Amino acid sequence: MKPLPPSDRPSDHEQLPLSGIRVVDVGNFLAGPYAASIMGEFGAEVLKVEHPIAGDPMRRFGTPTKRHDATLAWLSEGRNKKSVTIDLRQKEGVQIFLKLIAKSDVLIENFRPGTMEEWGLGWEQLREANPRLVVLRVSGYGQTGPYRRRSGFAHIAHAFGGLSYLAGFPGETPVLPGTVPLGDYMSSLYGVIGVLVALRHQEETGRGQVIDVGIYEAVFRQLDEIAAAYGLFGKVREREGSGSFVAVPHGHFRTKDDKWIAIACTTDKMFERLAEAMEQSELATTGLYGDQRKRLAARDQVNQIVIEWVGSLTRDEVLERCLDKEVPVGKVNSIADIFEDEHFQARGNLARFEEEGLGEVVVPAVVPTLSATPGRITNLGPPLGDATYEVMRELLDITADEIRRLRQHKII
Amino acid sequence: MTAESAPALPLAGIRVIDVATVIAAPYCATLLGEFGADVLKVEHPVGGDALRRFGTPSQRGDTLTWLSEARNKRSVTIDLHRPEGVAVFKQLIAQSDVLCENFRPGTLEKWGLGWEVLHEINPGLIMLRVTGYGQTGPYKDRPGFARVAHAVGGIAYLAGMPRGTPVTPGSTTLGDYMTGLYGCLGVLLALRHRERTGQGQYVDAALYESVFRCTDELAPAYGMYGIVRERHGPSHNDFACPHGHFPTKDGKWVAISCATDKLFARLAAAMGRTELASSSTYGEQKTRLEHRHDVNEIVRDWCGSLSRDEVLDRCYETGTPAGPLNNIADIFGDRQFHARRNLMAVDVPDTGETVIVPSTIPKLSETPGSLRSLGPKLGEHTVEVLSELLGMDEQQIAELRQKRVI
ipTM: 0.95
- Classify the phi-psi angles of A410: left when phi > 0, otherwise alpha if psi is within -120 to 50, otherwise beta: left
Work out how many domains chain B is built from and give that number. Answer: 1
Of the candidates A144, A123, A116, the one whose C-alpha atom is nearest the C-alpha of residue A49 is: A116
Mutate to test the interface with B, among A185, A347, A352 (most CBs of B within 10 A): A347
- Superfamily designation of domain A250-254+260-331: formyl-coa transferase, domain 3 (3.30.1540.10)
pLDDT, residue A3, reads: 42
* B140/chain A closest Cα distance in angstroms: 8
The CA R_g of chain B, rounded to the nearest whole Å, is: 25
Is there a contact between B316 and A260 if contact means CB atoms under 8 Å apart? no
C-alpha dist (Å) from residue B299 to A16, A116, A172, A175 = 50, 33, 19, 17
Q: pLDDT value at position A14? A: 58
Cβ neighbours of A77 (radius 10 Å):
30
Cβ <8 Å between B205 and A367: yes
Q: What is the mean pLDDT of residues B282-294?
A: 93
Sheet of A350-355, strands arranged across: A2-4, A350-355, A359-364
φ, ψ for residue B203, nearest 5 deg = -110, 125
* Cβ <8 Å between B224 and A72: yes
Question: What predicted TM-score, i.e. pTM, was given to this entire model?
Answer: 0.95
User: For residue A379, what pLDDT is reported?
Assistant: 95
Chain B residues with CB-CB distance to A172 below 8 A:
161
Give the model's pLDDT for residue A333. 97
Query: So where are chain A's domains?
Result: 2-222+345-408, 250-254+260-331
Nearest to A160 among B64, B208, B323 (CB): B323
Per-residue pLDDT tens digits for A150-185: 988 899 999 999 999 999 999 999 999 999 999 999
Sheet holding A250-254, edge to edge: A250-254, A260-264, A329-331
Whether residues A160 and B324 touch (CB distance < 8 A) is answered with yes
Whether A4 shows a pLDDT value over 80: the answer reads no
* DSSP of A132-153: T-EEEEEESS-SSSTTTTS---
Nearest Cα neighbor of B144 from B130, B165, B127 is: B130
B323 domain residue, yes or no: no
**How far apart, in whole angstroms, are the C-alpha atoms of residue B27 and residue B23?**
5
Nearest CA in chain B to A19: B193
* SS3 state at A169: coil
Q: What whole-number distance in Å separates Cα of residue A222 and Cα of residue A182?
A: 12
Assign A141 a pLDDT band (cuts: 50, 70, 90). very high
Per the CB < 8 Å rule, is A228 touching B356? yes
Higher pLDDT, B42 or A5: B42
Catalytic residue check, A300: no
Among A17, A153, A182, beta carbon nearest to B214: A182
Split at pLDDT 50, 70, 90, the class of B55 is confident
Which residue in B64, B182, B243 is closest to A225 by CB distance?
B64
Residue A244: band (very low, low, confident or very high) from pLDDT cuts 50, 70, 90: confident
Q: Which residues pair with A106 in a beta bridge?
A: A23, A134
Rounded Cα–Cα distance for residues B96 and B130 (Å): 19
Residue among B239, B267, B269, B238 at smallest CA distance from B254: B267
Q: What is the pLDDT of residues B310-368, one digit of tens each?
A: 999 999 999 999 999 999 999 999 999 999 999 999 999 888 899 999 999 999 999 99
Chain A residues close to B174, C-beta within 8 Å: 177, 222
Range of weakest confidence among A241-250, A316-325, B6-15, B29-38? B6-15
Task: Find the closest chain A residue to B365 by CA distance.
Answer: A210
- Do the Cβ atoms of A136 and A191 come closer than 8 Å? yes
Mean pLDDT of all residues belonging to chain A: 94
The whole-angstrom distance between A396's CA and the closest CA on chain B is 28
Nearest Cα residue in chain A from B263: A151
Do the beta carbons of residue B344 and residue B371 sit within 8 Å?
A: yes
Which residues does chain A have within 8 Å of residue B54's beta carbon, measured at their own beta carbons? 246, 266
Residue numbers of the domain that contains B163: 15-214+365-403
Distance CA B342, CA B212 (A): 28
State the pLDDT at residue B260: 87
Answer yes or no: is pLDDT of A6 > 50.
no
**Is residue A11's pLDDT more than 70?**
no
Distance between A92 CA and the closest CA of chain B, angstroms: 27
Cα–Cα dist B316/B314, whole Å? 6
Which pLDDT does position A8 carry in this prediction? 42
Overall average pLDDT of the B117-142 stretch: 97
Give the contacts of B209 (CB within 8 A, at least 6 positions apart): A347, A349, A367, A368, B134, B153, B182
* Chain B residues with CB-CB distance to A175 below 8 A: 159-161, 167, 231-234, 245
> Is residue B166 a contact partner of residue B8, using CB atoms and an 8 Å limit?
no
Give a yes or no: residue B258 inside a domain. no
CA nearest to A28, candidates A1, A4, A48, A52: A48
CATH no. for residue B54?
3.40.50.10540
State pLDDT tens for residues B173-224. Answer: 999 999 999 999 999 999 999 999 999 999 999 999 999 999 999 999 999 9
Closest CA to A143 of A116, A107, A124, A161: A116
The percentage of chain A sitting over the pLDDT mark of 90, rounded to a whole number, equals 92
Whether A250-254+260-331 and A2-222+345-408 are alike in CATH topology: the answer is no
CA torsion, points B89, B91, B94, B98, in degrees to nearest 10? Answer: -30
* E strand intervals along B265-371: 322-324, 343-347, 354-358, 363-364
Of B49, B176, B204, B261, which is the active-site residue? B176
Q: Give me the pLDDT at residue B406, please.
A: 95
Give the number of C-alpha atoms closer than 13 A to the C-alpha of residue B50, restricted to the C-beta side: 12
Nearest residue on chain A to B159, alpha-carbon basis: A178
Q: What is the pLDDT of residue B7?
A: 53
Predicted confidence at residue B237, as pLDDT, reads 66
Please judge whether B193 and A242 are an interchain contact, meaning their C-beta atoms are less than 8 angstroms apart: no
Going B303 to B305 to B309 to B313, the CA torsion angle's sign is: negative
CB pairs under 8 A between A and B: 512
The secondary structure of chain A in percent helix, strand, coil, rounded to multiples of 5, reads 40, 15, 45
Q: What is the 8-class DSSP label of residue A50?
A: E
Indicate whether B138 belongs to any domain: yes
CB contact under 8 A, B188 and A146: no
A9, pLDDT greater than 60 = no
DSSP B276: G
User: Which of A250, A347, A350 comes nearest B137 by C-beta?
Assistant: A347
Among the partner-chain residues A63, A166, A228, the one whose CB lies closest to the CB of B357 is A228
Instruction: Give the strands of the sheet with B243-247, arranged side by side.
Output: B243-247, B253-257, B322-324
Can you give the pLDDT at residue A245? 83
Cβ B41 vs Cβ B16: under 8 Å: no
Taking residues B113-127, report their average pLDDT. 98
Distances from the Cα of B201 to the Cα of B26, B97, B127, angstroms? 18, 11, 6
Choose from B230, B261, B328, B351 for mutation: most chain A CBs within 10 A: B328
Main-chain dihedrals φ then ψ at residue B119, nearest 5 degrees? -65, -35
For B340, counting Cβ atoms within 10 Å of its Cβ (0-12 exposed, 13-18 middle, 19+ buried), the class is: buried
Q: Which fold has domain A2-222+345-408?
A: Rossmann fold (3.40.50)
Question: Can you tell me whether residue A370 is helix, strand or coil?
Answer: strand
Give the active site residue among A8, A25, A184, A212.
A184
Of the residues B32, B127, B171, B232, the best mutation for testing chain A's interface (the one with the most A CB atoms within 10 Å of its CB) is B171
* Tally: H helices and E strands in chain A: 17, 13
Residue B40 lies in a domain: yes
C-alpha A110/C-alpha A198 separation (Å) is 18
Q: Which residues of A touch B192 (CB under 8 A)?
A: 17-18, 196, 199-200
What is the enclosing helix (H) or strand (E) of A211? Answer: strand A209-214
Residue B338 lies in a domain: no
Is residue A212 left, alpha or beta, with left meaning phi > 0 and alpha meaning psi from -120 to 50?
Answer: beta
